[in-house]
Amino acid sequence: MLKIYNTLARQKQDFTPIEAGKVRMYVCGLTVYDFFHIGNARTLTVFDMVYRWLSTTGYQVKYVRNITDVDDKIIDRANKNGESIDSLTGRMVQAMHEDTDRLMMLRPTAEPRATEHIGNMLGLIGGLVDKGKAYPASNGDVYYAVREFGGYGKLSGKSIDDLRAGERVAVDGSKRDPLDFVLWKAAKPHEPHWHSHYGEGRPGWHIECSAMSKAELGETIDIHGGGWDLQFPHHENEIAQSEGASGKPFVNYWMHAAFLNMDNEKMSKSLGNVFTTREILAKLDPVQGGETVRFFLLRGHYRSEINYTWDLLLDSRASLLSLYTALRDVPPAAMQIDWNEPHAARFREVMNDDFNTPMAFAVLHELRAEVNRTKSAELSGLLKALGNTIGLLTQDPARFVQGGEASGDDAAEIDALILQRQEAKKARNFAESDRIRDELKARGIVLEDGAGGTTWRRA
């Protein structure tokens, strides 16, 4: 039985989907005004892992991850660049897919864009106004009336009175209450806008996810995910909107991925420690980099904060290389996982305990040691198959260990030099043998002599 920590219940719960064998999962995606940073990468990777594991355990998963393609940041960045919003968001969506592909992520079942669901948002807003949960204001905006929703604060644990007491911003004269949040923004000059019953305008951020989730998955869904920072106000506001409109539970299981810190400090532009995933990947080996970052992001439990440093990233690469080296030295047999096999049973047990990837990684390393000891192709095949369930060990082992972007000609030249070295050793010409090793070392090629011959990898 799969157990998931439900943020709403504040405890692990047995997972029972609304419809047997099927899962409806929605995850808050990216606002596409720039390349996504390594903190975003953690959340995206976590829920890709969840998607893969649910699929592995037999569920038919509809995984929806939205794209916010109209927003203040997008408008500001497009104006700064002197380009259209469509041009900016088109480039950033393409870049997002390139980078998520490098992190071995599967594409979601659906990737709805906010601008494609304006009609659904207006329909939801209209229903809330009709029910007295929202109101048009004198400034042309439409606001959600927070005090009209009795369950506000149940996800984050915040009370309305405490929030009201802590409100330090002067009340907007068009709002009934400072806690009320915008559903529809009146159009401003030179901004994108759509026609509505309330006048020209564009949607607020929070209404997007409620409308797209309902359109893609229905009024009640199984799992809603996102970063820890989205609990309040974004997810709290989603609950108010969705349940205020439908009168039904919005989400059965809320999941939140914890923060990624940079050198033990929270990421902050003022500290200059915000790095895009693309920047980090550019510093890593092109073959090994994407999976190295994925391995690093999954080494810690998704509900625990993790710390990023370059040394920790390189340590992840070394750990991942040890798994691939075992697969290279003992070619894996093609196989279906036998979940009764002790290693597989243990792997499934820990993954079903709220997706405990640190313990799952420990099982992979135990299995690696067994592969190295027994030289069993079956155990090597099991190692590869278990890693594959969470998006790891999917590449050719020899290619991964060698790394680099060597062309076929480059690899052939290296192999030829290794053969010359072997011939020199046979002729007891150790000076020549050492010369060839040193030449390759100077080119960043490390030779590893073993019982099966000499293999090479990049330093």
Q: What's residue 405's pLDDT?
A: 65
Cα(200)–Cα(232) distance, integer angstroms: 28
Dihedrals phi, psi of 145, to nearest 5 degrees:
-90, 95
Kindly report the average pLDDT of the chain as a whole number.
93
Q: What's residue 394's pLDDT?
A: 97
For 313, other C-beta atoms within 10 Å of its C-beta total 19
- Residues placed in the known binding site for Zn(2+): 28, 209, 234, 238
pLDDT band at 172 (very low <50, low <70, confident <90, very high): low
Surface-to-core class of residue 245, CB atoms within 10 Å of its CB (0-12 exposed, 13-18 middle, 19+ buried) = buried
Alpha helices in 330-426 (DSSP H): 342-351, 357-374, 377-388, 397-402, 408-426
Nearest to 365 by CA among 315, 316, 322: 322
Cβ contact 459:440 at 8 Å: no
- Residues placed in the known binding site: 28, 209, 234, 238, 269
pLDDT band at 83 (very low <50, low <70, confident <90, very high): very high
- Residues placed in the known binding site for ATP: 269
Write down all domains in the chain, each with its CATH number in brackets.
Answer: 18-260 (3.40.50.620), 309-400 (1.20.120.640), 406-458 (no CATH)
Q: What's residue 167's pLDDT?
A: 56
Cα(48)–Cα(56) distance, integer angstroms: 12
Q: What's residue 428's pLDDT?
A: 87
Give the mean pLDDT of 2-20. 98
Q: What's residue 456's pLDDT?
A: 77
Q: What's residue 407's pLDDT?
A: 45
Long-range contacts of 357-364 (CB under 8 A, 24+ apart): 357/49, 357/298, 357/299, 357/300, 357/301, 357/302, 357/390, 358/299, 358/300, 358/301, 360/386, 360/390, 361/298, 361/299, 361/319, 364/323, 364/392
Q: What's residue 284's pLDDT?
A: 95
Tens digit of each residue's pLDDT (9 = 90 or more) over 128-149: 999 999 999 999 999 999 999 9
Q: What percent of the chain has pLDDT over 70?
A: 95
Give the mean pLDDT of 271-287. 91
Q: Which token pair is 137?
A: 């204001």
The mean-pLDDT minimum among 117-126, 323-332, 398-407, 432-441 falls in 398-407
Distance of alpha carbon 287 from its chain centroid, rounded?
20
Q: What percent of the chain has pLDDT over 90?
A: 80
Report the SS3 class of residue 175: coil
